[in-house]
Amino acid sequence: MQRTVQRVSILVAALLPVVVLGFYVLQPKTPPPETAASVVAVTQSSSTTKTATSATTPTTTQQTTKTTPSSASTSATTTPSYAYKDGTYSVTATYRVPEASAQKLGVSLTIVNDVITGAAATNMATDQTSSMYQNAFVSGYKTSVVGKSIASLQLGKVSGSSLTTAAFNDALTAIRKEAAI
C-alpha cells in the first residue's frame, strides 16, 4: 500500500508542471497593446481649431454635432443648477494607429441633468486590427458610461483597447465643451 501511495505521489509531482504549463499555453492571447502618435488636433463644428502636442497622446480630430437639445427642466420652487445642457451630442473622433491610416470612432451621448443617460459608439475603422479593437471597446464601454456624471467621466483602457478609449475620451471632452452652459 505504501509503495502505491509513493508511486501516485511521484506521478502527480511529475504531471503537475505539465498540466499547469498546458493550462497557461491554452489561455487566449490578448492582442498587443496599441501605441499612440504625437499630435492632437481638435476641430468642432463651429470651425474653431485647437492644436496641442504631446509625446503620448494619439492624433485626434473631432467634429461635434449637437442634435435634439432640450432646455433644462425647471421647478416652481427650486431650480437645480446644471453645468451642461440636456440633449444628444454626436462626435466623430479620428485617431492615428501605428502601421495604419487614420481611424474613426463615432460617439453619441445623451445628457439629462448632467448625467449620461444614453451612449452609442460606432465602429468606423478601415483596417482589420483597428476594427477588432473598436469592436472590443463597443462591446464593453457602456457600463462605464451610462448613469455617470459627464463632468467627471474619464475612461481607462476598455477591453484592451487603449487608442479607441483615448479617442472616446477626446470625443467626451469635445461633447463637454459643446454642451457646457
Q: With 60 as the cut, is the pLDDT of residue 116 above it?
A: yes
**CA 91 to the chain's CA centroid:** 14
Cα separation, 115 vs 11, in Å, equals 60
Which residue reads 487614420 in cell numbers? 102
- Average pLDDT estimate for 23-48: 40
Element housing 2 (H / E): helix 2-26
The model's confidence at residue 96, banded by pLDDT at 50, 70 and 90, is very high
DSSP for 116-130, please give it.
EEEEEEEE--SSHHH
3 φ, ψ to 5°? -65, -40
The model's confidence at residue 49, banded by pLDDT at 50, 70 and 90, is very low
Rounded to the nearest 10°, the torsion over CA 6, 11, 14, 19 is -140
Among 25-29, 42-46, 170-174, where is mean pLDDT lowest? 42-46
- Taking alpha carbons only, the member of 64, 24, 61, 69 closest to residue 40 is 61
Q: With 60 as the cut, is the pLDDT of residue 46 above it?
A: no
- Average pLDDT estimate for 44-66: 41
Cα separation, 92 vs 150, in Å, equals 18
For the stretch 126-149, pLDDT in tens is 999 999 999 999 999 999 999 999
